[in-house]
Amino acid sequence: MNKKIRSFVPLLLLFVFLPKALDASVLTIRLYGGGTYLQGGDINSGMKGWADYYKAYYGTYGYPQQTGSFAPVHLGFDAGGDIIFHLTTRFGIGLGAEYLMATKSSTLAFQSTASSFTMRFVGIPSAIPAKLSLFYFLPLGNRVRVSLHAGAGYYSASARLESHSSIDYIIDSSAKGIGYHGGLGLEWELFPKFCLLIEAAGRYASLSGFEGDVTMVGLGGWKGKLYYWGATASFLDKFNYIDLLIGAPGGTGFLFVREAKIDFSGFSLRAGFVIKL
């Protein structure tokens, strides 16, 4: 029995690893684009805290009529590509880069018997991961194959937060960190060296350590770090908040304080093409 198993192993290795004469490409290029969903993390809960705070504040002090609500940022787009070095017809190593970005704007309207005004909040998280991936390819016939990949990426990320009313308040911050990704795709060969690609991909990347600038248009600004905290106020039992400050906030009414985390974890649905060289 052991001899039979030992004789079967080399055949299995040949089946998995040996290149086939019909598909001898050493290098392929993938280019793609599509829609993405990301969690957002503290950029959503913190900016919702902006809306909760101002709705409670102005509701208490003279502007009881309010319309609008905060909408979290989740949907956006991504685009990127990979250069894949084929170790065999089934396995390859990919070097790639990707750009992903999401944006969402929310407007609140306040009105009293004598006056009215609006506040607009905008969140824009974006990132460029440089990726290293392991690919596996499974043929489903002469023209179709499944591609699976997984790996890690080094993320150069940014988070822009805006509040617009009588004063325009703009935060621009950036951070770097490690994330992880994987995906499942289907390649359909239209021509000997050209394939169409459809793919579903997921990622995990929650980053902190964002630093940057605050600009109060016409009034100046400052540099600092992006913080996230929970607090209480006389007109609001509890709210979460996000802001870029010179130092960590503290004092009476603060429930917790930490560095803000922007969560790029999510998934993408995309389409593109593959060129075999």
In a domain, 53, yes or no: yes
In a domain, 59, yes or no: yes
Looking at the structure of the chain, the number of domains it has is 1
In a domain, 1, yes or no: no
In a domain, 78, yes or no: yes
191-197 — which CB contacts under 8 Å span 24+ positions?
A: 192/276, 193/25, 193/275, 193/276, 193/277, 194/273, 194/274, 194/275, 194/276, 195/273, 195/274, 195/276, 196/271, 196/272, 196/273, 196/274, 197/30, 197/32, 197/147, 197/271, 197/272, 197/273, 197/274
In a domain, 4, yes or no: no
Host domain of residue 229: 28-276
In a domain, 14, yes or no: no
List per-residue pLDDT tens for the chain, 277 residues long: 455 445 445 444 444 444 443 345 689 999 999 999 999 999 999 999 999 999 999 988 889 889 999 999 999 999 999 999 999 989 999 999 999 999 999 999 999 988 999 999 999 999 999 999 999 999 998 899 999 999 999 999 999 999 999 899 999 999 999 999 999 999 999 999 999 999 999 999 999 999 999 999 989 999 999 999 999 988 888 899 999 999 999 988 899 999 999 999 999 999 999 999 8
- Predicted pLDDT of residue 62: 86
In a domain, 9, yes or no: no
- Predicted pLDDT of residue 234: 81
Whole-model pTM?
0.88
In a domain, 89, yes or no: yes
- Predicted pLDDT of residue 120: 96
183: domain CATH number is 2.40.160.20
